[in-house]
Structure 1
Amino acid sequence: MKQEEVPQDKGNLSNKNMKELVYATDEKGNYTTALSTGWEPKTIALTNSIDEISERIAIAKEQVKNNEVSPICYFMEVSRMDIGVLASYVGMWQWRVKRHFKPKVFAGLSDTILKKYAESFNISIEELKNFKTK
């Protein structure tokens, strides 16, 4: 894309008077950088992604409230992780992490295991143990 064609659509950054650095070509065809306030397709994709994440967080919160899953599931969603990422952070197999999603299994976890989860979510063990939905 040419420097003068860099999109300046209203985007997520334009509300904060910020600009994104992008690559473009100058009049000689050499690569250079340019500033963009946004690009509509990118803004739509990002908004959809954020909406989907927010929906997954709300579902996880409701499931914790209904005692269907443990707080680990909720904090995993809030931290924008999936089971594979969380398993690598806590150093456990994915099947074991999935097992810890069960409220009865979660209730029996040691503080050593809970500490791994809490550190991964950047919260305290008490916050993890005593998570209450409102």
Structure 2
Amino acid sequence: MKKEEVPQDKSVLESKKFRELTYAVDKNGDYITELSSGWDPKTIALDNAIKEIEERVSKARQRVMNEETSPIEYYMELHKMDLPILASYAGFWKWRVKRHFKPSVFKKLKHKTLQKYADIFDISIDELKNIPEKP
């Protein structure tokens, strides 16, 4: 695509003053880098992905409030992780992390284990134990 054809459609990235680096061809036919504020199809896909993530975080938060899961699951969703990624960061088997999702098990976790999760999420143990009232 030519430099003048690099898409500059409105997107979520634009509102946060981010630009995407793309490659284009200049007048001499050489490849150059050009900044783009977005491209409609990509923007639609990104918006849908962000909405899905926000819904997952909201549902996880509600499950914590209903004492159906532990805050670990909420923070995992908030930080856009899944079970295998969180398990690998924590150095635990996936089944063990999933077990830590149980509120009864979470309440009995040792300080060292809680600290490991708090470090992964870059929060304090107190924040890990008490998710904020408002998202």
**TM-score, normalization by structure 1:** 0.90
Between the aligned partners of 2:79 and 2:90, the Cα distance in structure 1 is 14
Between the aligned partners of 1:13 and 1:71, the Cα distance in structure 2 is 29
Superposed, 1:65-84 pairs within 5 Å as: 65-84=65-84
**In the alignment, which residue of structure 2 is the partner of 1:116?**
116
**Unmatched tracts of structure 2, length 5 or more:** none
Answering whether residue 40 of structure 2 is matched by residue 49 of structure 1, we say: no
**In the alignment, which residue of structure 2 is the partner of 1:125?**
125
CA contact (8 A) 1:10 1:39 kept: yes
- With 48-57 and 4-13 compared, the bigger mean Cα shift is at 4-13
Between the aligned partners of 1:16 and 1:96, the Cα distance in structure 2 is 38
**In the alignment, which residue of structure 1 is the partner of 2:23?**
23
- With 33-42 and 74-83 compared, the bigger mean Cα shift is at 33-42
Aligned length: 134
Between the aligned partners of 1:5 and 1:73, the Cα distance in structure 2 is 43
- 1:11-57 superposed Cα distances (whole Å, 9 cap, x missing partner): 22333555332111223432111122211111111111110000000
Between the aligned partners of 1:60 and 1:84, the Cα distance in structure 2 is 17
- With 13-22 and 110-119 compared, the bigger mean Cα shift is at 13-22
- 1:89-118 superposed Cα distances (whole Å, 9 cap, x missing partner): 111111100010011111111011011001
Amino acid at match of 1:95: W
**TM-score, normalization by structure 2:** 0.90
- With 11-20 and 29-38 compared, the bigger mean Cα shift is at 11-20
Between the aligned partners of 2:16 and 2:113, the Cα distance in structure 1 is 41
Aligned-pair identity in percent equals 58
Regions of 4+ moved over 4 Å: none
CA contact (8 A) 1:3 1:34 kept: yes
**Unmatched tracts of structure 1, length 5 or more:** none
C-alpha RMSD of matched pairs (Å): 1.7
